[in-house]
Amino acid sequence: MRDPNNKTKIVFDFDHTLFSTRRFYNTFKKAFEKLGVDEKLFQETFKKSKEKGRYYKPSKQIKLITKKNPKTSSKKLKESSEKALSRARKFLYPDALPLLRKSKRKYNFYILSCGKEKFQRQKIKISGISKYFKKILITQDDYKTSALKKILKNKERILFIDDQPLVLFKIKKTFPEVITIRINRGEGGHVKERDNSKIDFSIKNFKQLEKILKRNFKN
């Protein structure tokens, strides 16, 4: 039996779950446009800079831009990207901090995010939410199963929240005991993907998550 003294664990994805990556992307784009990088060049180098098609690295994009357009100052691009990154807190979804503040004593929170280690940790740290989480894990395992093993323990109740249906499918298939919650905030590359049979709950925001927690997962 589950120990009633153990708090339920809630594992959050970061991008498109806690953090509006779309707004962050647009801020980078506008900052680079001011330095003469047109939209076409920005989009082209942004895609090429994503390792394995997923993991964005600003320094790699800057190298690609200056290679295509040697007149563009790499120093100014770097300064511009650092300035955009310094605003990370502004790109949290409006309901993220209220949920974390309100529920931090009721649940044990974790972040499990895909991406380049340094850049993801910078985003999370600057967003100001690190203190709410027991552990922050960054992985390049697309399906996050290997990283989730580090959080799972026997007889514990754990909820996993992500915007990608396929990730949730793989998690549930590997760990049937995990409660899977799909969040679709209307942003990101998986918005139009349908829910699958391995998704236990589907939400659009954290108000809906709070209702699910209240009804089904009281500690």
User: pLDDT tens track of the chain, all 219 residues?
Assistant: 445 458 999 999 999 999 999 999 999 999 999 999 999 999 999 999 986 667 888 999 999 999 999 999 999 999 999 999 999 999 999 999 999 999 999 999 999 999 999 999 999 999 999 999 999 999 999 999 999 999 998 778 999 999 999 999 999 999 999 999 999 999 999 999 999 999 999 999 999 999 999 998 876
CB 161 within 8 A of CB 183: yes
pLDDT of residue 176: 96
**In this structure, are 78 and 139 located in the same domain?**
no
Q: How many CB atoms lie within 10 A of CB 153?
A: 9
**In this structure, are 78 and 109 located in the same domain?**
no
pLDDT of residue 174: 97
**In this structure, are 121 and 182 located in the same domain?**
yes
Q: How many CB atoms lie within 10 A of CB 58?
A: 21
pLDDT of residue 55: 86
**In this structure, are 130 and 196 located in the same domain?**
yes
The C-alpha atoms of residue 79 and residue 13 are separated, in whole angstroms, by 28
Domain that includes residue 73, residue range: 22-87
What does the DSSP 8-state code read for residue 88? Answer: G
Pick from 143, 145, 180: which is nearest to 160 by CA?
180
Q: What angle do CA 79, 85, 91 make, to 5 degrees?
A: 150
The C-alpha atoms of residue 28 and residue 83 are separated, in whole angstroms, by 9
25 token code pair = 């992307």
**In this structure, are 123 and 63 located in the same domain?**
no
pLDDT of residue 153: 84
CB 191 within 8 A of CB 204: no
Domain count, the chain: 2
Task: Give the CATH number for residue 200.
Answer: 3.40.50.1000
Question: Is residue 172, in this structure, part of any structural domain at all?
Answer: yes
Crossing angle of helices 39-49 and 58-68, in 10° steps, is 130
pLDDT of residue 202: 99
Q: What angle do CA 136, 97, 145 make, to 5 degrees?
A: 30
Question: How, if at all, do strands 158-162 and 179-183 pair?
Answer: parallel
Question: Is residue 204, in this structure, part of any structural domain at all?
Answer: yes
- pTM beyond 0.95, yes or no: no
pLDDT of residue 1: 45
**In this structure, are 133 and 195 located in the same domain?**
yes
Q: Where are the alpha helices (DSSP H) in 51-116?
A: 58-68, 74-85, 96-103
Question: Which conformational region is residue 16 in: left (phi greater than 0), alpha (psi within -120 to 50 degrees), or beta?
Answer: left
Q: Helix and strand tally (H, E) in the chain?
A: 9, 6
